[in-house]
């Protein structure tokens, strides 16, 4: 009985995680055109797995904040606004922000890590820019999510 209950609970926890698609090691190893920039937004933590708001870039929804997954966008270099569509009336109790301005450089990849935080009513997802080395390491085993990015 206990084993069955534990397996069912584990299944529920993992059901919201990205499990298909190519990994970051496969997708992000490809060279980038010198006139384009790559933005990768990823989430490693399964904490608050049911909280999966969409990411948006420059006001356009591009994909969801699914645990163990990442969204990759090829964009023109320059300034871009990235946000998470958290529940509007919710406030993060752990700090962090759900809106970030990034300046993308030609031929380079910028990584944003999405992390769940405790919120006033439900969990929220916050964003922070990380180094390219950390981003590569963190996304190596994550799965690419379907997105509306090109």
Dihedral pair phi/psi, residue 90, rounded to 5°: -90, 150
The pLDDT tens digits for 25-51 are 998 888 888 899 999 999 998 887 888
Q: Is it the case that residue 135 has pLDDT exceeding 80?
A: yes
- Whether the CB-CB separation of 52 and 122 falls below 8 Å is answered with no
Question: What's the pLDDT at 95?
Answer: 62
pTM of the full predicted structure? 0.82
User: Residue 145 and residue 24: Cα distance in Å, rounded?
Assistant: 10
Task: Look at residues 117, 79, 85 and name the one whose alpha carbon lies nearest to residue 99.
Answer: 85
Give CA–CA dist 91/59, Å, rounded.
20
Interstrand relation of 37-43 and 143-144 (parallel, antiparallel or unpaired): unpaired
Q: What is the mean pLDDT of the chain?
A: 82
102/150: higher pLDDT: 102
Are 71 and 55 within 8 A, CB to CB?
yes
Indicate if the pLDDT at residue 15 is higher than 60.
no
Q: How far apart are CA 108 and CA 27, in angstroms?
A: 15
């Amino acid at each position: 009985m206990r084993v069955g209950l534990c397996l069912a609970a584990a299944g529920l926890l993992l059901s919201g995680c990205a499990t298909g698609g190519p990994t970051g090691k496969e997708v992000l190893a490809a060279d980038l055109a010198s006139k384009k920039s790559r933005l990768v937004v990823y989430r490693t933590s399964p904490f608050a797995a049911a909280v999966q708001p969409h990411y948006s870039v420059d006001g356009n929804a591009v994909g969801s904040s699914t645990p163990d997954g990442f969204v990759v966008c090829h964009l023109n270099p320059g300034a871009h606004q990235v946000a998470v569509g958290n529940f509007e009336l919710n406030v993060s109790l752990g700090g962090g922000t759900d809106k970030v301005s990034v300046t993308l450089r030609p031929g380079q990849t910028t990584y944003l890590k999405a992390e769940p935080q405790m919120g006033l009513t439900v969990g929220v997802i916050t964003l922070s820019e990380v180094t390219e080395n950390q981003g590569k390491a963190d996304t190596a085993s994550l799965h690419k999510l379907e997105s509306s990015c090109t």
